[in-house]
Chains A and B, each alone.
Chain A
Amino acid sequence: MEAPLIQFNAVARVYGQGEAEVRALDGVSLTIAAGEFVAIMGPSGSGKSTAMNIIGCLDRPTSGEYLFQGVPVQGLTADQRALLRRHALGFVFQGFNLLARSTALENVELPLIYKGMSRAQRGPIAMAALAKVGLGGREHHDPSQLSGGQQQRVAIARALAGSPQLILADEPTGNLDSQRSHEIMLLLQGLNRNEGMTIVMVTHEEDIAAYAGRKMVFTDGHLSEDKRQVARSSEGAA
C-alpha cells in the first residue's frame, strides 16, 4: 500500500518552558491522502497554524512523528526541508505575502527560480499559472495595483506554478469580502477536482469550509472532530 501524503502520529508542539509552557499541539494523530481537500477549523489559538507550519516543514514537532509521503520530516536537515518545500509544497497566506515592487509575473516566477529554471523556462510556466487563476493580461502589474482578490490569485498562481503535491492555505479568504472569498474557493476547488491537487486549508467560516470534502476541528491542541462531507460545488448551492 502506498504511504499517505501526510501522517501525524501523536504530534505535539510545545512553546516555552515550565510556567510559560504552551502545548499548541498536544498529541495529534491524523492521516491525509493525496487528492483530498481538507478544511481545518477551530477557535483562535487552538493550534491550526501550528499544525499547518509543521505540515509545511517550516516547523518541526517537539515530540511525535510527522511523515510526508512516508518520509519522517523530523529527521531531515534544514536544507532537506527547504528542498521539500521547493519541490512538493505551495503556500497561500492570509496576508498574501507577495513581494512588493515586483510584478505579478516575477512573484509567480519566484519558486521556479529556486528550482533552477532559466528565464526562458520560467516565463511560459508562470504565464500559464496566472492564466489559470484568471489573471491573464495582468502579468506586469505590481501587487499595489491589484485588488485583494487579485493579489490572492497571484499568491495561488505562485503556489501552483511549481506543480506541488500539496497546497497549504492558512485562512486564504481571511482578508477578502464574501464575493471574492467564494471566487477563491471555487478556484481552489477546481484545482483539487481537475488537477488532483491536495489542499489543506484553515478557515473560520463554515460556508468556506463547505467547499472541502473533509472537515477537521481543532480544540486546545487536540483534533476534536474529523469528518467527511459532501462538498458544496457552487456559490448558490448552500
Chain B
Amino acid sequence: MIWETITLAFVAIIRNKLRSFLTVLGVVIGVAAVIAMVTIGQGSSAQVSASVESLGTNVLSVRPGRFRMGPPTGGGGAQAARFAIKDAEAIALLPAVAFAAPIVTTSQTVVAGNANSATTVYGTTAAYLQVQNWPIALGRNFSDGEIAGGAASCLLGQTVAEEVFGGSDPVGAAVRIKTLSCQVIGVLADRGAGSFGQDQDDLILMPIKTVQRRLAGNTDVDSISIALRKSASSADGIDQVSALLRERRRIAIGEEDNFSVTDMAEISSVLTGINSVLTGLLSSVAAVSLLVGGIGIMNIMLVSVTERTREIGIRLAVGASAGQVLMQFLVEAVVLSLLGGVLGIAVGLGLAFVGSIFMSIPFAPSPAIVALAFCFSALVGVVFGYFPARRAALLDPIEALRYQ
C-alpha cells in the first residue's frame, strides 16, 4: 500500500512537471542556501585552523593597549605608548624566544615603469620571515646591514610582483613608493588566501627603519611578532614577554598592562567564532526562505486537492478511508518537498564547491548538515502538506463525486 501511495505521488508530480518545479523552488533555494552557507563556513573554519597551524602554535603577537581581538577596552589601544625597535631586540634575547620581529605597516602605491599597485608595506626585520615560516621564491632575505642601516631594498609578495612586473623577473629592478626608490632583492613564495579569504601575497617587505624614516616619519612600531623556541610553552613565552615589557614600560606592581600578548590559539578561536556567527545569521535567512517554500507547497497542494475533487470522490466510493486519502496527499507533499530538498542539496554543494575554489578555501561538505537538510525538507512537507491533505480527507464523497 505504501509503495502504491509513493508511486501515485510521483505520477501526480510528474504529470505537472513545470508546476511541481516552480512549487519546490522555494525549498530548493532555502536548502541550497543553508548547504552552501554551512559548507563554505566550515571550509573557511578549516582554513583558519590550517593557516593558524602553518604559523605554528608557538607564535605570539604583542600590541600596545589592552587589545583583545575586538574593540579596545580601558587602557585604550591607540593611546597606549608604542613599542620601539629596542623592545623587539630585548624580547629576542629572552630564553623562551627564538625570533622577534618588530612590524610597522602602511598602505602605499607601488610604481615601476607605467605599472602600479596599491598594497601594504610592512617595515620589519629579517626575522619576520622566520617567525612566519615563509620561504623566499626568488632572490634573498635582508642582510643585517640593510636592516641596521635602513637601506632602500625590498621583498615583493607574489601578487605585487605579478601586478607590477607581469611575468618578468623583478630581482634587481627598482620600484618607487612616493619619493622613495627601492631596489627589489627578492620575491616571497606564494601563500594564498588567509583566514578571511584576504590575499596574503599582497604586500611588500622593507627594513623597518626605511619605512619609519621615509614613509611614516616617526619611530613607532605597531606590533611585535614572536616565534618561541620549540621547547618553550606558549604560557612560558607569554609570562616572560609580559614581565619584560612591564619592566621596560615601567608599570608598577598592581597596575594593569598597557599592552597585550596574544597567542595563535586565541586568535584562532576568535576567528572561528566570528565565522560561526556569520554562518548562523545567514542560515536563519535561509530558514525563512524554507518557510516561504513550505507555504508555496501548501498553496499548490490546496489547488491540487480542488482540481482532483472528483478523483477523491471516486477513491472514497471504491473504499478508500479518509486516512488513506490523507496519506496520499501528505505523501505527495512530502515527496515534493523532498525532491526540492535533494535538488537544493545538489545546488548548494555545487555552489559551495565553486565558492571554495574562488575563495581558495577547502571544500568541506558535512554529511550531518546534508542529512539535516534532507530531514528538514521532509518536515516542511509534513507540516505544510497536512492542512491540504486533511481538507481532501474530509471531503464528502457524494459532493466530491458530483464536482465538475
Contacts and interface: CB of A to CB of B under 8 A. Distances in A.
Chains A and B bind each other? yes
B11 to A, nearest CB: 9
Given A79-B322, A86-B319, A115-B319, A99 B311 contact: yes
Interface in B52-88: none
Interface residues of A, number: 26
Contacts of A158: 318
B401 interface: yes
Interface residues of B, number: 20
B324 interface: yes
A5 B185 CA distance: 108
B135 interface: no
Contacts of A82: 316, 319-322
A58 B317 contact: yes
Given A82-B316, A85-B318, A114 B398 contact: no
A7 B383 CA distance: 44
A113 interface: yes
B206 to A, nearest CB: 78
B4, B319, B322, B401 — which one has the most chain A CB atoms within 10 A of its CB?
B319
Interface string A91-117: 101000111010000000011011110
B344 interface: no
B309 to A, nearest CB: 12
A233 to B, nearest CB: 30
A58 B319 CA distance: 10
A112 to B, nearest CB: 9
A111 B319 contact: yes
Interface in B231-260: none
A88 to B, nearest CB: 9
Q: Which of B4, B313, B322 has most A Cβ within 10 Å?
A: B4
A63 interface: no
B314 A99 contact: yes
A126 to B, nearest CB: 13
A221 interface: no
Contact of A97 (B314, B320, B324): B314
Given A97-B313, A97-B314, A99-B311, A87 B398 contact: no
Interface in A130-164: 158, 162
Contacts of A162: 318-319
B397 interface: yes
B318 A114 contact: yes
Interface string A34-67: 0000000000000000000100101100000000
A78 B322 contact: yes
B2 to A, nearest CB: 11
A83 interface: yes
Interface string B296-311: 0000000000000011
B320 A114 contact: yes
Contact of A110 (B15, B315, B397, B398): B315
B95 interface: no
Interface in B86-128: none
Contacts of B371: none
Interface in B315-333: 315-324
A87 B319 contact: yes
Nearest to A168: B317
A28 B398 CA distance: 21
Contact of B1 (A79, A87, A111, A116): A116
B401 A111 contact: no
B397 A58 contact: yes
Contacts of A116: 1
Contacts of A111: 318-319
A78 to B, nearest CB: 6
Contact of B401 (A87, A93, A110): A93
Contacts of B313: 97
B28 to A, nearest CB: 27
A85 B99 CA distance: 90
Given A58-B317, A85-B317, A113 B4 contact: yes
Nearest 4 CB-CB pairings of A with B: A86-B319, A111-B318, A82-B321, A85-B319
11 contacts: A53-B398, A58-B317, A78-B321, A78-B322, A82-B320, A82-B321, A87-B319, A97-B314, A98-B314, A111-B319, A114-B320
Given A110-B314, A114-B318, 18 more contacts: A56-B317, A58-B317, A78-B321, A82-B320, A82-B322, A83-B321, A85-B317, A86-B318, A91-B318, A97-B314, A97-B317, A97-B401, A99-B311, A110-B315, A114-B321, A114-B324, A158-B318, A162-B318
Interface of A: 53, 56, 58-59, 78-79, 82-83, 85-87, 89, 91, 93, 97-99, 101, 110-111, 113-116, 158, 162
